[in-house]
Amino acid sequence: MYKGVIFDLDGTLSNTLDSISLSGNLALESIGMASYEKDAYRYFVGDGAKELVRRMLINNGDTECSCFEELITAYRKTFAEHADYNVTVYDGMKETLAELKSKGLKLAVLSNKPHAQTLEVVHKLYGEGTFDVIRGNVPEIKRKPAPDGALLISKELLIEPCELVYVGDTCVDMKTGKSAGMFTVGVLWGFRDRKELEDNKADAIISHPHELLDLITDALLR
């Protein structure tokens, strides 16, 4: 029986691809590097800003990441300016969250986005009362796919890991949930595809938020 759900943010709760790609391209252009098509960022994101910048550099030919400090500084500046650019909620997500709460489940967010920006995005899109715990990336806690953040949320919610569902759109999320001992649900409306979720042993794969409600409702009735 599941008692709570932990959600990834980018590509799961919110479509942030426009803001990330715009910020990334502006940063690249500011240091004289070529920009990318928006879809390229689907495979750059997921492991935090530093890894995003490394992937941007490597794919630009800077395999040694010699421009890392210059680009990470530029990216942090452009992202601070455009973090909310065209950020949207996925269709059906607000209604699904409301239904889960009405059934008594605890809700949480775990993101590799910096903590302050995670709070800002979640509160702007969903308000301040939707989630019981919100955690972004902080220096003292290992970022996903390490299970540390997910396990900390488990303790904060007073729910055992095996009673939690972990929902995300990438291999990073599936690895996080698996290593934390949680039931993993991969979503197809995010940044990656079914094969990546299957290869990383998602326990279930869904194509619409309402399917999460059905999955958890069925489990509650068993």
CA angle 164, 170, 171 (to 5 degrees): 85
% of residues, the chain, pLDDT over 70: 98
Mean pLDDT of 1-30: 96
pLDDT of residue 62: 95
Query: DSSP E strands: which ranges in 18-129?
Result: 88-89, 106-114
Greater pLDDT, 167 or 114: 167
Amino acid identity for residue 169 in this structure:
D
CA angle 171, 118, 207 (to 5 degrees): 40
Residues 6+ apart with CB under 8 A from 80: none
For the structural domain made of 4-15+87-221, what CATH number should be given? 3.40.50.1000
Tell whether the model's pLDDT for residue 221 goes beyond 70: no
Could you report the per-residue pLDDT of 133-145, keeping only the tens digit for each? 999 999 999 999 9
Tell whether the model's pLDDT for residue 83 goes beyond 90: no
Tell whether the model's pLDDT for residue 222 goes beyond 60: no
Could you report the per-residue pLDDT of 17-63, keeping only the tens digit for each? 999 999 999 999 999 999 999 999 999 998 889 999 999 999 999 99
Question: Residue 211 burial by CB count (10 A; 0-12/13-18/19+): exposed, middle or buried?
Answer: middle
Mean pLDDT of 91-118: 95
pLDDT of residue 48: 85
Q: Which of 45, 35, 117 is nearest to 79 (CA)?
A: 117
In eight-state DSSP terms, residue 201 is T
Asked if residue 177 lies in contact with residue 166, where contact means CB atoms within 8 angstroms, the answer is yes
Could you report the per-residue pLDDT of 149-179, keeping only the tens digit for each? 999 999 999 999 999 999 999 999 999 999 9
Mean pLDDT of 8-25: 96
For the structural domain made of 17-82, what CATH number should be given? 1.10.150
pLDDT of residue 220: 58
* Residue 149 DSSP SS3: helix
CA distance to 63, 91, 186, 216, per residue, from 78 (Å): 23, 27, 30, 39
Domain range list for the chain: 4-15+87-221, 17-82
Mean pLDDT of 63-92: 94
Rounded to two decimals, the pTM is 0.92
Asked if residue 202 lies in contact with residue 186, where contact means CB atoms within 8 angstroms, the answer is yes
Q: State the chain's mean pLDDT as an integer.
A: 94
Task: Determine the Cα–Cα distance for residues 169 and 7; give it in Å rounded to an integer.
Answer: 10
* Residue 192 DSSP SS3: coil
pLDDT of residue 81: 92
pLDDT of residue 1: 83
% of residues, the chain, pLDDT over 90: 89
